[in-house]
Amino acid sequence: MSATTRRALLSGGLATAALAMLPRSAHAFGEEGAFNPRILLTGDAKWEGVRARAPGRWADELARRTSAPSRVQPTIVHADEKELLAEPFVIWGGAAEAPALTSKEIGVLKQFFSLGGILFVDDFSPDTGVFGKSARREIARVLPENSPLSVGTEHVLFRSFYLLKRAAGRVQGPTKLDVVVRAGAVQVIYTSHDVLGALAIDSAGVNSLDVSPGGEAQRELAIRLCVNVAMYVLCSNYKDDQVHAEHIMRRRGGK
């Protein structure tokens, strides 16, 4: 996908044009190249607990609402593994302080960002902000030359599919998001909303956590934010030869 095409899709929030370039079936070409809300683990962390099924819901909501390609079962990747480089998106979340990244983790993350990867940082306990602060500290070691910027409704993240007036998650949090921009593209998204908390479900598909203060309307806003982020990722140009980008262009010719 050319830089001109990406700008046309993203700069104006042209959701209709973006959808016209996406596959009709979420799994029309298997799971290769599909949006995969992977969980990033650092140190000896494990992925478990009440939010364990939240990435799967993220993928399901995207497919159901947009027909964009998404993974049936999102995967987990460690920050020191080369597998991190295989796909363009990863989520790093937590409630406690993040341990210092190892030199190997920093090295692989640098490669991930150099290829155009996008990291979504989600603080599960925004009231304390412990994880968010430590995550910013560690990402600053990976990208020392880039400081976060605050963005709101003027940014494509708030209008890549839904037109959003604010960010939201399990907690209402600030109206804006903090992002790290490199070469004109967002590569790190910081939230202080516990977005995965709003998406958390149990084995029966029932919401696991209450959303406050806005209840189900606020949960819907959190889901819409996730859809917007996914659409932004799908219209990115990871490694310049992304499998899903090639498929999108083939589909475009047939519509």
DSSP conformation letters of 67-134: ---B-SS--EEETTSGGGGGSSEEEEEESSPPPPPPHHHHHHHHHHHHTT-EEEEEES-TTT-HHHHH
Q: Round to whole Å and give the CA distance between 92 and 149.
A: 19
> How do 149-151 and 185-191 pair as beta strands?
unpaired
Given a cut of 80, whether residue 252 has pLDDT beyond it is: no
Q: What are the beta bridge partners of residue 121?
A: 92, 190
Residue scoring higher pLDDT (115 or 23): 115
- 11-51 per-position pLDDT tens digit: 444 444 444 444 333 332 235 679 999 999 999 999 999 99
List Cβ neighbours of 158 (8 Å cut-off, separation of 6 or more): 13, 151, 152, 164, 165, 167, 228
Alpha carbon 136 to its chain centroid, in Å, reads: 16
Q: What sign does the dihedral 19-113-178-90 (CA atoms) show?
A: positive
Whether the Cβ atoms of residue 177 and residue 157 lie closer than 8 Å to each other? yes
Q: Which of 37, 109, 39, 43 is nearest to 69 (CA)?
A: 37
Q: Which of 237, 143, 226, 227 is nearest to 185 (CA)?
A: 237
pLDDT band at 140 (very low <50, low <70, confident <90, very high): very high
pTM: predicted TM-score of the whole model, two decimal places: 0.84
pLDDT band at 238 (very low <50, low <70, confident <90, very high): confident
Q: What is the DSSP string of 128-143?
A: T-HHHHHHHHHHHHHS
pLDDT band at 210 (very low <50, low <70, confident <90, very high): very high
| Least trusted range by pLDDT, from 101-110, 228-237, 239-248 | 239-248
- 53-92 per-position pLDDT tens digit: 999 999 999 999 998 999 989 999 999 999 999 999 999 9
Given a cut of 50, whether residue 255 has pLDDT beyond it is: no
List Cβ neighbours of 15 (8 Å cut-off, separation of 6 or more): 159, 160, 161, 162, 231
Q: What percent of the chain has pLDDT over 70?
A: 81
Residue scoring higher pLDDT (198 or 239): 198
Domain ranges of the chain: 3-250
What pLDDT is attached to residue 32?
62
Check residue 174 and report its DSSP letter: -
What pLDDT is attached to residue 189?
98
Amino acid in the structure at residue 135 = A
Q: Mean pLDDT, the chain, as a whole number?
A: 86
The CATH-assigned architecture of domain 3-250 is 3-Layer(aba) Sandwich (3.40)
Given a cut of 60, whether residue 108 has pLDDT beyond it is: yes
Given a cut of 60, whether residue 3 has pLDDT beyond it is: no
| Separation in Å, CA 174 to CA 127, 157, 247 | 12, 15, 37
What pLDDT is attached to residue 70?
94
Q: What are the beta bridge partners of residue 201?
A: 207
Q: Round to whole Å and give the CA distance between 245 and 252.
A: 10
Residue with tokens 């099924």: 53
What pLDDT is attached to residue 72?
84
Rounded to an integer, the average pLDDT of 191-211 is 97
What pLDDT is attached to residue 56?
97
Neighbouring CB atoms inside 10 A of 166's CB total: 17
Tokens for 62, please give them: 């995207």
